[in-house]
Amino acid sequence: MSALQSRAALNDFTIKLANVNGTGSSSANGLLMKAIFRMGIPVVGKNIFPSNIQGLPTWYEIRVTEKGYHGRSGDVHLMVAMNAKTYTQDLAELSPGGVLLYDSTWPHPEFMNRSDITVIGVPFARMCNGAFKAARSRILMKNMAYIGSVVALLDLDMKVIHELVREMFAAKPKLIDLNLQALTLGFDHVKEHFDGTLDIKVEARDLTTGKIMIDGNEATALGCVFGGATFGAWYPITPSTSIMDGFTKYCRMFRVDPETQEHKYCIIQAEDELAAAGMVVGASWNGARAFTPTSGAGISLMSEFIGYAYYTEIPMVLFDVQRTGPSTGMPTRTQQCDMQICAYASHGDTCHILLFPSQPQECFEMAAQALDLAERFQTPVFVLSDLDIGMNDWMVDALSWDDSYQPDRGKVLSKTDLEKMDKFHRYLDVDGDYIPYRTLPGTDPKGAYFTRGSGHNKWGSYTEEGQEYKELVDRLRNKWASAADKVPAPVLKASKGSSNYAILSVGSCDGAVIEACDRLEAQGVHLDYMRVRGFPFCQQVEDFIDAHDTVFVIEQNRDAQLLNLLLVETNVAREKLVPILHYSGEPLDYRFVFQALHEALALRKTA
Amino acid sequence: MSSFAKPLIRRKDAPTNDLGLIRADYDGAMSTLCAGCGHDSVTAGLTRAFFELSIAPHKAVKVSGIGCSSKTTAYFLGQSHGINTVHGRMPAVATGAVAANSALSYVGVSGDGDSLSIGLGQFVHAMRRNVNMLYMLENNGVYGLTKGQFSAAADFGASSKKGEINEQPPLDPVSLALSVGATFVARAFSGDKDQLVSLIKAGLKHKGFALIDVISPCVSFNDHKGSTKSYAHAYKYYHPAIHADYVPVGKEITAAYQAGELLPVEMHDGGTLQLRKLQNGYDPRDRARAMAKVFETKDSDETVTGLLYIDETQKDMHALNRMEARPLNEIPYAELNPGADKLEALQKKFR
């Protein structure tokens, strides 16, 4: 056992369930996690799934964390091995002292070769084949049977599980009894055949009041609905698809006139990402709050319109749920690898506004903020989430909405405004804040102007004059820079002691970084931590780096993209920034961060 | 500079439309295209049609892509919003714009390069969605702005100005439109203004996607002997099959036709489209027949023109999406915000 591995403790352990995808395991696994959550104990759920519909290995990880950390632990204390193809790998991953639960219909005595673990075999397939007739049921019910065994092993509250089963199958009551029967099969078998005690135990707490379990894409969709978006165009792409699924669901819930059945929204599934981006440009240009959800490959395709919207000053909101690249990459694995392309997407001199949520609650808030910022600054705004945030269930504070919120529709001239004006010029910086006024088609003949992606001057006319061109693009740069104080401010977590060392990180790294900091702190190592939430960077970011000798920049990509953005866009000293990079595609765990910091600090102290 | 302001000249006796506006109120900037360009005739046709239909200029929206044709949106309706987008992507921008506000008249101007090569996908999908807009495809078979390369509309065996022979089959927007379910498919020739203007008016009044493929010769790069998109070729093989006259609500039909010659089509705004057959046995409400006609005439070098197909019964994009009549951009936020209570209530399922 490495010094960093930790044994399971009461309400502090990790279960990993190894399954074959397309067999219905994920709803069973979700149910297990929800049950622990309902027993009042914080949980972290990670679905590590293939880019496939049926037949390939898939894993679900449930971390039970009384302390309420958001990241993975890096340990596995209970492995539910239901996929014979990954037995070797799953066995190896199990932490010392851990428990292996597997389907002993086909016995594997070699599992006993590891003396540091407890192996529990339950003949799930045989039991289910005996109990259920239909072939599909035999496969599906195996899931519920292993949940039953886990309930017995962990001492979970069966009442909570039953309640969840009833909720889950409320629409198909016939399935309730089948599922309860399967649960009992697994539960009883463990109770009859196993009488040892395990480190892994769950005891009810009251730590999840006011919390919800939600994934970032669903929260983003809700943010778009509450933020007043009326138009969404998209092209299906993992891992962003469920944003539009959610937006559609909530629009149907809240935006359909009960009498006429007419919609107060429009959703278009485009022919590709190029078209999706173009539709958003068209709708925004014409005054609708519009967005598109996508992932990295989509950003590549949308870049043409992103540059167009930047130069013509048309609002545009893009949700990039990042996955591993380059190219198709690993579509179902997470990364933070689109920060650089989004910061400067499209040819020519372009720079964009980026927001970085770290969990679903921030996805909800930042969705509405992005819609405001895009219309305020008349430019593309990106919300960079990732697969981990977007598709995994996170325990966060319940979402709340302030009904006094009014969307910031930006500087749009009304008919009355136009009537008072002598002449309207689209790109004139009237207020000295680098943001010109715009008009919507149909408002007034005086408001008419011609939007063009070719060279234009501040009067809104075509130009090939160098001075006129420069004047306009200089204003665009200033406009972008002025957004630094309007994007969400960084979050600072100061260490208890004074420190010359600090961490700067972003997005979904947060949970693992906070936990690593806490554990280092416990060992007397103090690190200040800043999480950036917006780009362009505000002055605080530069000040934070200036105030420390060494800043570890922790991010999930190979090329240190955040670090590079800091070097390009601030005046910080290059030698201060030390990259810590995680890019395997699996969500970050605290152990990785802890170990990397530990080693880096040890090196620095000995040097 | 690629455009010049055109001086507004108001003559005392200039005829006015129902809004009291004169033709010049529908002008745009001066064209910077080559003298004799077919596109300028299309621009003039659009100006006249909007004027005659009495559409307030600021209630019209012009959308275009990139290329000579796409530049022309600056040359008419100077008091309308115009958006010159990126190459081949006008249909997407138009789709978004129409979705945001269906209460305006939308005209998209594109060319054969913009629509049939780089933008083929978007062009086809806008037709499938039946976006409520008029789509002018100014077709000259050649890339003008880049000086004379064949476009995908260049006919088999046609020669370029430099003498190169095109050996690939052309993409024909009309048969393409018919095959993907377009609801208004017309072909015109920039040299026949009367036919062009009446088609534009009908297309603007059509509820759904109206395609007018306009043979619009390029005087600089495709007007030579051996070209099948030259003025001479177009005049020689030009063949009107159906004439379409849009008659607004309450206006009387004045022209006298023989019985059986007229096919009246009722439009969504209450007006009528009077279709006059110039050929026996042709019914533009019959898609299969329209398709057959296009193929038959192609084989005989004829360029069949007119309103070749119309279907007023199909749902447009708004109807397909069950959208309310009020433009999206006019719905107040109070109606869009479900409210904090609803948010709290719906989160029970997340617990």
pLDDT at residue B3 in the model: 59
Of all residues in chain A, what percent carry a pLDDT higher than 70?
A: 99
* Measured CA angle at B53 (ends B47, B55), to 5 deg: 80
The residues facing A551 across adjacent strands are A502, A577
Are residues A374 and A227 located together in one domain of the fold?
Answer: yes
Whether A205 is in a domain gets the answer: no
Are residues A471 and A496 located together in one domain of the fold?
Answer: no
Residue A514, min C-alpha distance to chain B (Å): 25
Residue A83, min C-alpha distance to chain B (Å): 29
CA distance linking residue B260 with residue B246, whole number of Å: 18
pLDDT at residue A516 in the model: 97
Closest chain A residue to B318, measured at CA: A266
pLDDT at residue A3 in the model: 44
CA distance linking residue A423 with residue A448, whole number of Å: 10
* Chain-chain contact of A452 with B329 (C-beta, under 8 angstroms): no
* Chain-chain contact of B96 with A286 (C-beta, under 8 angstroms): yes
**pLDDT tens digits for A275-305?**
999 999 999 999 999 999 999 999 999 999 9
CATH number at residue A385: 3.40.50.970
- For chain B, positions 128-187, list CB contacts with chain A under 8 A: 129
What is the number of domains present in chain A? 4
Stretch A594-604: mean pLDDT: 91
> In terms of DSSP H, where are the helices of A172-285?
174-193, 216-226, 241-254, 273-285
* Chain-chain contact of A445 with B57 (C-beta, under 8 angstroms): yes
Whether A268 is in a domain gets the answer: yes
Whether A260 is in a domain gets the answer: yes
CA distance linking residue A212 with residue A397, whole number of Å: 6
Single-letter residue type at A470: K
DSSP state of A282: H
- Which helix (H) or strand (E) segment holds residue A168: the answer is helix A158-168
Are residues A187 and A228 located together in one domain of the fold?
Answer: no
pLDDT at residue B253 in the model: 57
Give the three-state DSSP class for B138.
strand
Q: With a cut of 50, say whether residue A2 has pLDDT above it.
A: no
Contacts of B336 in chain A (CB under 8 A): 225, 228, 230, 255, 264
Angle between helices A174-193 and A124-131 (to 10 degrees): 140
CA distance linking residue A139 with residue A120, whole number of Å: 20
The residues facing A19 across adjacent strands are A58
Q: A49-55: long-range contacts at Cβ-Cβ below 8 A with a sequence spacing of 24 or more?
A: A49/A21, A49/A332, A50/A21, A50/A332, A51/A238, A51/A330, A51/A331, A51/A332, A52/A21, A52/A22, A53/A21, A53/A22, A54/A20, A54/A21, A54/A22, A54/A23, A55/A20, A55/A21, A55/A22
**Token pair belonging to A260:** 């006429």
pLDDT at residue A326 in the model: 97
Whether A62 is in a domain gets the answer: yes
Chain B interface, mutation test: which of A268, A346, A359, most B Cβ atoms within 10 Å?
A268
Tell me which of A423, A450, A484 is where a domain ends.
Answer: A484
Predicted confidence band at A4 (pLDDT cuts at 50, 70, 90)? low
Residue A52, min C-alpha distance to chain B (Å): 27
Predicted confidence band at A566 (pLDDT cuts at 50, 70, 90)? very high
Measured in degrees and rounded to the nearest 5, phi and psi for residue A590 equal -65, -30
Are residues A372 and A478 located together in one domain of the fold?
Answer: no
**pLDDT tens digits for A474-492?**
999 999 999 999 999 999 9
Chain B interface, mutation test: which of A308, A350, A400, A450, most B Cβ atoms within 10 Å?
A450
Which residue, B198, B144, B178, is CA-closest to B294? B178
Q: What domains are defined for chain B? A: 23-335 (3.40.50.970)
CATH number at residue A155: 3.40.920.10
Residue A588, min C-alpha distance to chain B (Å): 24
Whether A93 is in a domain gets the answer: yes
Q: What is the layout of strands, in order, in the sheet containing B60-64?
A: A450-452, B81-84, B60-64, B105-111, B133-139, B209-215, B184-189, B303-310, B238-247, B272-277, B262-266
The residues facing A100 across adjacent strands are A79, A119
* Cβ atoms of residues B77 and B28 within 8 Å: yes
* Chain-chain contact of B100 with A262 (C-beta, under 8 angstroms): no
Residue A600, min C-alpha distance to chain B (Å): 40
Contacts of A371 in chain B (CB under 8 A): none
* Cβ atoms of residues A369 and A488 within 8 Å: yes
**pLDDT tens digits for A235-270?**
999 999 999 999 999 999 999 999 999 999 999 999
pLDDT at residue A499 in the model: 86
CB proximity B107 to A under 8 Å: no
Are residues A222 and A261 located together in one domain of the fold?
Answer: yes
Whether A436 is in a domain gets the answer: yes
Are residues A148 and A101 located together in one domain of the fold?
Answer: yes
CA distance linking residue A201 with residue A44, whole number of Å: 16
Answer with the residue of higher pLDDT: B5 or A324.
Answer: A324
* Cβ atoms of residues A358 and A389 within 8 Å: yes
Of A253, A281, A402, the CB nearest to B96: A281
Are residues A372 and A254 located together in one domain of the fold?
Answer: yes
Q: With a cut of 50, say whether residue A96 has pLDDT above it.
A: yes
Chain B interface, mutation test: which of A452, A456, A459, most B Cβ atoms within 10 Å?
A452
Whether A408 is in a domain gets the answer: no
CB proximity B21 to A under 8 Å: no
Stretch A396-420: mean pLDDT: 97
Mean pLDDT, each 10-residue run in order, chain B (351 residues): 64 91 95 94 97 97 96 96 97 98 97 96 98 97 91 92 93 96 95 94 97 95 92 88 81 57 79 76 87 85 89 96 96 98 97 93
Are residues A276 and A380 located together in one domain of the fold?
Answer: yes
CA distance linking residue A94 with residue A279, whole number of Å: 49
Whether A420 is in a domain gets the answer: yes
Task: Give every CB contact of residue A365 below 8 A, 6+ residues apart in sequence.
Answer: A223, A357
pLDDT at residue A314 in the model: 98
Give the three-state DSSP class for A426.
coil
* Chain-chain contact of B89 with A263 (C-beta, under 8 angstroms): no
* Chain centroid, CA A152 distance in Å: 33
Give the three-state DSSP class for A354.
strand
Are residues A373 and A262 located together in one domain of the fold?
Answer: yes
Are residues A363 and A445 located together in one domain of the fold?
Answer: no
pLDDT at residue B12 in the model: 79
Average pLDDT score, chain A: 96
* Chain-chain contact of A445 with B99 (C-beta, under 8 angstroms): no
Of B121, B129, B337, the CB nearest to A226: B337
> In terms of DSSP H, where are the helices of chain B?
38-52, 68-71, 90-100, 112-116, 120-129, 173-179, 193-205, 231-237, 287-299, 317-320, 333-336, 340-346
CA dihedral A488, A273, A301, A481 (to 10 degrees): -20
Compute the count of residue pairs across chains A and B with CB atoms less than 8 Å apart: 229
CATH number at residue A523: 3.40.50.920
Answer with the residue of higher pLDDT: A497 or A41.
Answer: A41
Per the structure, the complete domain to which residue A498 belongs is given by 491-606
CA distance linking residue A38 with residue A164, whole number of Å: 10
- For chain B, positions 74-93, list CB contacts with chain A under 8 A: 74, 78-86, 89, 91-93
Q: Write down the ipTM of this complex.
A: 0.95
Tell me which of A397, A423, A453 is where a domain ends.
Answer: A397
**Token pair belonging to A514:** 């906070």
Residue with tokens 């290995």: A57
Are residues A372 and A288 located together in one domain of the fold?
Answer: yes
Residue A188, min C-alpha distance to chain B (Å): 28
* Chain-chain contact of A462 with B121 (C-beta, under 8 angstroms): no
Of all residues in chain A, what percent carry a pLDDT higher than 90?
A: 93
Contacts of B75 in chain A (CB under 8 A): none
Are residues A38 and A123 located together in one domain of the fold?
Answer: yes
Tell me which of A329, A362, A397 is where a domain ends.
Answer: A397
* Cβ atoms of residues B152 and B117 within 8 Å: yes
* Chain-chain contact of A442 with B59 (C-beta, under 8 angstroms): yes
